[in-house]
Amino acid sequence: MVPGNSNPIISVNGLTVAFGQRHVLDGLDLDVSRGEILGFVGASGAGKSVLMRTIIGLVPKVSGNIEVFGIDLDAADSSERRGVERRWGILFQHGALFSSLSVRQNIQFPIREYLKVSDRLLDEITIAKLAMVGLKPEVAERFPSELSGGMIKRVALARALALDPEIVFLDEPTSGLDPIGAGEFDELVRTLQRTLGLTVFMVTHDLDSLHTACDRIAVLGDGKIIAQGTMDDMLASQHPWLREYFHGKRARAVLV
């Protein structure tokens, strides 16, 4: 899919975000088209998480305009907002599981909120979601503090997918997963994209994911998008940071 698609599902225009005097994002423009998997890269501390959190409305912006599903969330009333929130799923960088709920309750929480279905179906869907992210049904009864780092990521993903959303925001989904798990994860994202037409906004440092799962890559630097395009565009770019990133030692090991 090409950038500048006529009907973007997320569109960000002239976004500026600052903490105190320090501008983290500075006049950023970004469009995400329906059904694509966008990989989002940038140096640590460049503001990737901040951009994601701003799009979903957790961080206040100084100026700019954000539309999701064609709805400007600043102008939307609360029922419109809820409508939008039901259609996206979010995986936070640190999981953000509810620590006093078990894995089962964590996954069922959003479903219970929005759908009136029987407990039997809830339990079955929970197990299905867990299976999709590669976890055994036994895990359902455990509490977040009893999970490994990678399992927390997977459960958080299962919760993000609980309502079969149209967009998922993933903040470093494969960090903390073993390479096999990360590979399965990329495969899962692909499957969901194909079958559900899922749009994926994925912040990642995982070159493998960028290579195998993403349709398009956007690069954040100095508070702006400094480059976007396919993996091949990235590899061909002459930008020094991009050359370092995609042609460094680690990148060569992955991409050859």
Partner 1 sequence: MSGPTLEQIAKGDGLALCAAGSWTARFAPALEQIVAEAEKLTGSRPNIFIDVSQVSKLDTFGAWLIERLRRTLTHGGIEAQIAGLSANYASLVGEVRRVEPAGPPAASESAILGVLDRIGRAIYGVGDTFFALIGMMGAVLTAWLRVFVRPSTFRLTSTVHHLQQVCWNAVPIVVLITFLIGCIVAQQGIFHFRKFGADVFVVDMLGLLVLRELGVLLVAIMVAGRSGSAYTAELGSMKMREEIDALRTMGFDPIEVLILPRMIALVIGLPILTFLGGMAALYGGGLVAWLYGGVDPEAFLSRLRDAISINHFLVGMIKAPVMALVIGIVACVEGLAVQGSAESLGQHTTSSVVKGIFLVIVMDGVFAIFFASIGI
Ligand X SMILES: Nc1ncnc2c1ncn2[C@@H]1O[C@H](COP(=O)(O)OP(=O)(O)OP(=O)(O)O)[C@@H](O)[C@H]1O
Interface residues with ligand X (CB under 6 A) are 19, 24, 42, 44-50, 93
- Let me know: does 213 contact 189? Beta carbons within 8 Å: yes
Question: H helices of the chain, where?
Answer: 48-55, 78-86, 103-114, 119-132, 149-160, 179-196, 207-212, 231-236, 240-247, 249-255
Binding mask 116-145 for partner 1 (x = CB under 8 A): xxx-xx-xxx-xxx-xx----x-----xxx
Q: Would you say 88 or 92 has its CB closer to ligand X?
A: 92
Question: At its nearest, how many Å lie between Mg ion and the CB of residue 44?
Answer: 8
- Let me know: does 201 contact 10? Beta carbons within 8 Å: yes
Helix, strand or coil, per DSSP, at residue 171: strand
Question: At its nearest, how many Å lie between Mg ion and the CB of residue 68?
Answer: 20
Binding mask 46-85 for partner 1 (x = CB under 8 A): ----------------------------------------
Dihedral (CA of 38, 82, 63, 13) sign: positive
Question: At its nearest, how many Å lie between partner 1 and the CB of residue 205?
Answer: 23
Chain residues binding Mg ion by CB under 5 A are: 49, 93
Token pair for residue 116?
């009136």
User: According to the binding rule CB under 8 A, does residue 170 interact with partner 1?
Assistant: no
Q: Would you say 63 or 191 has its CB closer to partner 1?
A: 191
Question: For residue 145, which amino acid is it?
Answer: S
Q: Vertex 176, ends 249 and 169: CA angle to 5°? A: 100
Give residues in contact with partner 1 (CB under 8 A): 98-100, 111, 115-118, 120-121, 123-125, 127-129, 131-132, 137, 143-146, 161, 163-164, 188, 191-192, 194-196
